[in-house]
Structure 1
């Protein structure tokens, strides 16, 4: 056994823990509590209060945290107890230690609620907090997962994105009344979304996207789908009209497309596209044209995803027109063939 272990004091018994909590309450509150003790209990607790010394802050925090955890669980008190807890902990531990303990006690509640909000559409969240004070917006965004927060920020007015980010950067700890206000905001948001937002889901489009990205036998999937309902399968095929299907086209079709689509469309649309698709398009171009495309893509640098999506939609409109007129044969998936 080392010296540190020899010097370590035994854990506080239940009377000493009670004494520690009463000391943290202050004279008036402690006196009111002691009125409900028996004579013997009062003597034992006050004796312990008089002899307590050398209690480390971590031990004190643990004892008081357990007391208030039990208090919250058994009493059923919510809002008002936070203010009471805050005042009591500050008296017992001082401001700095109290802040850390309060964050531990109530931080999980906020984080758990925020986890629910990350599944709400960013545009809906942005609209919900748009009329809140910028500081509350900043705190709201700070507690959201970063990916969700970034998406919500995109839907807020761009002229004060920098102010919100600056406010978030300056956050260290927040007043517990603000924590309460934030929880109220989160709960109102969850309630409103539950009441007003129907979950938009297009099953046909989802199936089309799944099959477009399926690495296995798409043709067999489609054939099996037609056995269930040919009309549904036809709708799925129509929704499979996606930019990525260009990578599955024949050389003849791609040759026709690179002649009809302006090179500046390709330079934007191929940004971030699968490397196989990029190579297929470039192979269908004359060498000089392919080199010009590469130079154009490099010169443009990073491009917003929204612009890339628009360019891809423009290309697919051209493809659709060519397919409907019979100038190209568009292959949505490799059909089953027989000898």
Structure 2
């Protein structure tokens, strides 16, 4: 009995040997810092990066000393020969920080990040809940609404549009699709108006926003029922535009057109729990594509999880699929993968 127990213990992989994703490594590193230092790092990250790291923080459980040491050593090795971290935009996700760290700690970090920052009036909207942004622009001229919708991230814009009246939604989306450039002075005037309500004083250099691609990006994040209804309305108004938008959209089923190397890279960024839920509503071609790009053992475990997983709400499946689509699009924009089908056109 003792020998069997010892064999069982010996056969189990050591906890420290588990693979830690890059997002988890970033979360561990930030959690190892004090609030002030973490805030200095976060202020240079984009909203999607903060969101992903925040989710990873919230899901962290049982981190060993070996895990922390390994992450710190990897970080030191990675930046040892660099003069900077290659940081990005001064944008943040308030909701993710609150979810990850709780109200008090999140508020402290957010205050430290925002003080002395260069957040513009439009950038401030990225901190707000979509419903609150919708209330702010609800009675503005549709062209103003279109500019704001074009400027925000597609997933946030999709939620805002989803809360608008269908006729207004169609008008705004048509304007988004036809909006290619805007005079810097006009954009600055909009910033000035918003900054009367929010803090910030930096001018923006952005003059090119909107367009058919942006419309397609936003459509990708809408609820399926709203997306279908809006696309049908666009078809009735401008069939050619609707076809172009549809061609540029990247949906979950398009994953079967991504090359094997891209799928393998994508799977390294997706948690097993999200993948299982997403595949509950996927067609066989997508499932086969996923299975063939995993090790035999990993594919068997995934199939077992799918079989033992109970019924899942359609909204949960769609949410998981949209999460994976979002990761795929982020990786495509970073040049890490190439999206197939409509994705190639989009690239």
| TM-score normalised by L of structure 2 | 0.30
Hey, which of these two has a bigger chunk of helix by percent?
1
Larger Rg: 1
| TM-score normalised by L of structure 1 | 0.31
